[in-house]
Amino acid sequence: MDYANNIKTIGVIGAGVMGNGIAQVAASAGYEVILNDLKQEALDKAMKQIAAFLEKSVEKGKLQSEEAKAIFGRIRTTTELKEVKADLIVEAILENLALKQELISVLESVNPDTTILATNTSTIPITRIAAKATRPGQIVGMHFFNPAPLMKLVEVIAGEMTKPEVAEAIFEVSLKMGKKPVHVKDEPGFIVNRVARPYYLEGLRLYEEKVADFQEIDALMEATGFKMGPFRLMDLIGVETNHEVTKSLYEAFFHETRFRPSRVQQKKVDAGQFGRKNGRGFYVYEGK
Ligand SMILES: NC(=O)c1ccc[n+]([C@@H]2O[C@H](COP(=O)([O-])OP(=O)(O)OC[C@H]3O[C@@H](n4cnc5c(N)ncnc54)[C@H](O)[C@@H]3O)[C@@H](O)[C@H]2O)c1
């Protein structure tokens, strides 16, 4: 089956940090988009962010105002999961295996056999996510980076049971979205998150050991050429999401000490300081 050319409608589940960007990218590539979240507030916030991004692109002369309107008009929202009937569905809910498996089982029950179910997981092996699915051949990793409208890379991950033509379709759709897709093996954290983990974790250890303050660590890393220091980056990603990703990688590597999660980060999560998304993480964003 020619999956890639049959994809006209893309469902996006979860309208958080990643979901809203993925919906925008898909609509910009000409797909009809159905954006779903459990919470109406999350959908409203996502649509506001998309509108703001498009407006800025028009101001900068990167987009015609008619095009921006058309892109925005291709995205519809719903809190009803059962209304998400699409040719390709990308899930971007919490980094939690059981929740992702449960979601997939509902999506399988309301969609035809040909629907591709892609996951934006950062670390969970695709084979494990697909383990309880009735159509594991249709499940694939499509890992975008934050912010999705700007970052070019997409990791395309085929699990043990993924049909090769399904992974190929994701590769082609990513190209159509103007991305740079790369096929990667189904290993915990794939490539980028595995390589990037020590960046966050050593930063957190330096801070915990009082070697330097977090602002200082960020300033030094940025001075060496990194676009963002580890703490600024965690605030952008979502401190709690970054922590979940580390915990998931730590489990998947059978508690290898190099991936041991940080207590300082745990404390931030316990305090509800998630970063930019709620106004305070390591830095304070209130009113900005
Ligand atoms: N934040 C990043 O930088 C980043 C980058 C790449 C990949 N990821 C991955 O993307 C996924 C989402 O991360 P995020 O940062 O966007 O999370 P987020 O917490 O910002 O957003 C998740 C959204 O999903 C919604 N949600 C939760 N359960 C749901 C369900 N069952 N049905 C519908 N909506 C549901 C929540 O209400 C929330 O709005 C995770 O798997 C994460 O590992 C995150």
User: Quick one: pLDDT at residue 287?
Assistant: 66
DSSP, collapsed to helix, strand or coil, labels residue 35 as strand
Ligand 1 centroid – CA 142 distance (Å): 14
Cα 75 to chain center, whole Å? Answer: 18
- Whether 111 is catalytic is no
Whether the Cβ atoms of residue 247 and residue 193 lie closer than 8 Å to each other: no
The two domains 3-184 and 193-275 share their CATH topology (first three levels equal) = no
**What whole-number distance in Å separates Cα of residue 155 and Cα of residue 170?**
10
- Whether 243 is catalytic is no
Residue in this structure with the two tokens 């919490």, named with its chain if needed: 94
Residue in this structure with the two tokens 């963002």, named with its chain if needed: 228
Sheet order of strands, 180-184 included: 75-78, 32-36, 9-13, 88-91, 116-119, 139-143, 153-158, 180-184
Whether the Cβ atoms of residue 12 and residue 36 lie closer than 8 Å to each other: yes
Question: Domain coordinates of the chain in residue numbers?
Answer: 3-184, 193-275
Which residue out of 57, 193, 248, 262 is catalytically annotated?
Answer: 193
Domain topology for 3-184: Rossmann fold (3.40.50)
- Ligand 1, residues at Cβ distance < 6 Å: 13-19, 36-39, 42, 92-95, 99, 103, 120-122, 144-146, 237-238, 241, 245
User: Quick one: pLDDT at residue 2?
Assistant: 87
Ligand 1 centroid – CA 14 distance (Å): 6
Size of the chain, expressed as the number of residues it contains? 288
pLDDT by position in tens, the chain (length 288): 888 889 999 999 999 999 999 999 999 999 999 999 999 999 999 999 999 999 999 999 999 999 999 999 999 999 999 999 999 999 999 999 999 999 999 999 999 999 999 999 999 999 999 999 999 999 999 999 999 999 999 999 999 999 999 999 999 999 999 999 999 999 999 999 999 999 999 999 999 999 999 999 999 999 999 999 999 999 999 999 999 999 999 999 999 999 999 999 999 999 999 999 999 999 999 765
DSSP, collapsed to helix, strand or coil, labels residue 42 as helix
User: Quick one: pLDDT at residue 77?
Assistant: 98
**Which bin fits 12, alpha (ψ -120 to 50), beta or left (φ > 0)?**
beta
Q: Burial, 287: exposed, middle or buried (Cβ in 10 Å; 0-12, 13-18, 19+)?
A: exposed
pTM score of the predicted model: 0.95
User: Quick one: pLDDT at residue 1?
Assistant: 80
Domain topology for 193-275: N-(1-d-carboxylethyl)-l-norvaline Dehydrogenase; domain 2 (1.10.1040)
For residues 259, 180, 143, 131, the Cα torsion angle rounded to the nearest 10 degrees is: -100
**Which residue has a Cα nearest atom 21 of ligand 1?**
16
**Alpha helices of the chain — where are they, by DSSP H?**
3-6, 17-28, 40-59, 65-73, 97-110, 126-129, 164-176, 192-208, 214-223, 230-237, 239-252, 263-270
